């Protein structure tokens, strides 16, 4: 199946959204941009996403089939979603990851660590949640919280969190070497758009449950968070596991972009249907006779 987007000639989206090497200034990333989008805009985004979904779904099935047939060698994919409150981690999961067969995805949301989790090093709970063979794992927040909220709120001494960037790079390199493709997405929402979205949650009783007064507390530390994000995007921007900044003021673009990054990754893996582990002619005769 070919998607509308696939017909478009141009740079892969991963190139367009990849964070360039070197120092990062988040102010230079436009949260309202729509780079690489093949259609007109919001008006045709449902159509574009549907086309993309069909191809994504086909590719994912091959990955999954590999995982079932050859678990020792099958690849895995890990999508890491980070972003300020209201940037749309949940929306991406619902609308982009929701395009894929739920049997092939492993979702994990990381909250403030439990007492048991705090008793181990910060990567302990992460390692336990890694995707299995042939699976697409999705992290809603991740080990990056340990250099974001932990840094901003000084939850551990600087000597400790500052060591974590290198530890993360080592951990991710190990993951990639073991056959996991890592897609890191920072959902970049503007300060103004975040205010609008928070206000919207307070305007509709059906959205109260999404609102948390602590979100405003974090908002009041916006510059510190931007600085912490910039550090993570700079220091953990490796060749094996680069960072992408997803402009997220337009929800339709954000959802399309993450789905397209996933599609590109799968398409680039050169996935093949696993061979039969039985004699096809023999089995055909058995089925026929049954």
Q: Kindly indicate which of the ranges 30-38, 120-128, 165-173, 201-209 contains the residues binding a copy of itself, using the contact rule CB under 8 A.
A: 201-209
Q: Which residues of 59-77 are buried (b: 16+ CB within 10 A; e: fewer)?
A: bbbbbbbbbebeeeebbbb
Q: Does 206 bind a copy of itself (CB under 8 A)?
A: yes
Q: Does 68 bind a copy of itself (CB under 8 A)?
A: yes
Q: What residues from 27 to 66 belong to the interface with a copy of itself (CB under 8 A)?
A: 62, 65
CB-count exposure of residue 1 (10 Å: 0-12, 13-18, 19+): exposed
Q: H-helix or E-strand containing 105?
A: strand 105-109
Q: Does 102 bind a copy of itself (CB under 8 A)?
A: yes
Q: How many binding residues for a copy of itself (CB under 8 A)?
A: 43
Q: How far is the CB of 136 from a copy of itself (least distance, A)?
A: 11
Which of 208, 223, 240, 268 touches a copy of itself (CB under 8 A)?
Answer: 208
**Residue 35 DSSP label:** T
Which of 30, 40, 101, 153 touches a copy of itself (CB under 8 A)?
Answer: 101
Q: Does 111 bind a copy of itself (CB under 8 A)?
A: no
Q: Kindly indicate which of the ranges 19-27, 113-121, 162-170, 213-221 contains the residues binding a copy of itself, using the contact rule CB under 8 A.
A: 213-221
The smaller minimum CB distance to a copy of itself, of residues 114 and 206, is found at: 206
Query: In angstroms, how far is the first alpha carbon of the chain from the final one?
Result: 34
Q: How far is the CB of 119 from a copy of itself (least distance, A)?
A: 22
| Residue corresponding to tokens 């047939």 | 69
Q: Measuring CA to CA, how many Å separate 11 from each of 17, 35, 52, 260? A: 10, 10, 17, 12
Q: How far is the CB of 103 from a copy of itself (least distance, A)?
A: 5
Q: What is the largest CA-CA distance in the chain?
A: 72
CB-count exposure of residue 251 (10 Å: 0-12, 13-18, 19+): middle
Task: Report helix, strand or coil for 76.
Answer: strand
Could you list the residues that contact a copy of itself (CB under 8 A)?
62, 65, 68-69, 90, 93-94, 97-98, 101-103, 105, 107, 109, 140, 195, 198-199, 202, 205-206, 208-211, 213, 216, 219-220, 273-278, 280, 283-284, 286-288, 290
């Amino acid at each position: 199946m070919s998607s509308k987007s696939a017909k478009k000639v141009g740079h892969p989206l991963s190139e367009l959204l990849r964070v360039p090497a070197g120092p990062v200034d988040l102010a230079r990333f436009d949260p309202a941009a729509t780079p690489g989008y093949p259609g007109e805009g919001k008006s045709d985004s449902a159509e574009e996403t549907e086309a993309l979904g069909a191809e994504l779904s086909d590719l994912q099935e091959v990955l999954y089939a590999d995982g079932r047939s050859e678990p020792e060698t099958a690849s895995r994919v890990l999508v890491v979603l980070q972003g300020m409150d209201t940037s749309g981690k949940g929306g991406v999961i619902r609308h982009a990851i929701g395009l894929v067969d739920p049997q092939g995805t492993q979702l994990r949301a990381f909250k403030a660590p439990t007492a048991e989790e705090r008793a181990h090093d910060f990567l302990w709970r992460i390692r336990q949640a890694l995707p299995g063979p042939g699976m697409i794992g999705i992290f809603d927040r991740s080990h990056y919280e340990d250099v974001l909220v932990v840094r901003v709120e000084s939850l551990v001494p600087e000597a400790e969190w500052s060591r974590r960037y290198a530890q993360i790079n080592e951990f991710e390199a190990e993951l990639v070497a073991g056959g996991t493709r890592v897609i890191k997405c920072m959902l970049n929402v503007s300060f103004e758009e975040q205010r609008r979205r928070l206000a919207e949650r307070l305007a509709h009783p059906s959205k109260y449950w999404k609102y948390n007064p602590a979100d405003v507390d974090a908002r009041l530390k916006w510059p510190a968070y931007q600085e912490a994000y910039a550090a993570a995007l700079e220091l953990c921007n490796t060749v094996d596991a680069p960072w992408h900044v997803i402009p997220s003021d337009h929800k339709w673009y954000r959802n399309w972009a993450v789905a397209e990054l996933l599609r590109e990754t799968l398409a680039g893996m050169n996935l093949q249907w696993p061979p039969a582990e039985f004699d096809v002619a023999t089995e055909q005769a058995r089925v026929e006779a049954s």
